[in-house]
Amino acid sequence: DAMVIQNPRYQVTQFGKPVTLSCSQTLNHNVMYWYQQKSSQAPKLLFHYYDKDFNNEADTPDNFQSRRPNTSFCFLDIRSPGLGDAAMYLCATSRGQGSYNEQFFGPGTRLTVL
């Protein structure tokens, strides 16, 4: 089945220690998104790639970076995680960038910061 895969499902890191979360897709979609979802809150868009074009949300902290080396993979790098970065991180894809495009979500990676 075509899908969005996130690894690992659970990630524990130490305060200030860089961490990378991974997302891959077999849907061959052009757009890949990263969302942050804190407990009891709505998912919040951090940034997205349309093909190789990176689009950062205005309020995404500089601490968060992303890479998309090819169509299938996208990475979320947190350079110096703080306690406030503990959250579920969701990856999503869509065929196109317009508002009519359904987004397909991965299972998420739950990040714990010690």
Residues that bind another protein (CB under 8 A): 4, 31, 40-45, 48, 55, 90, 92, 94, 96-103, 105-108
Nearer to another protein, 14 or 26 (CB): 26
CB of 88 to another protein, least distance (A): 10
CB of 22 to another protein, least distance (A): 15
Return contacts of 66-72, CB within 8 angstroms, 24+ apart.
66/34, 68/32, 71/28, 71/29, 71/30, 72/24, 72/25, 72/26, 72/28
DSSP symbol at 72: S
Nearer to another protein, 23 or 81 (CB): 23
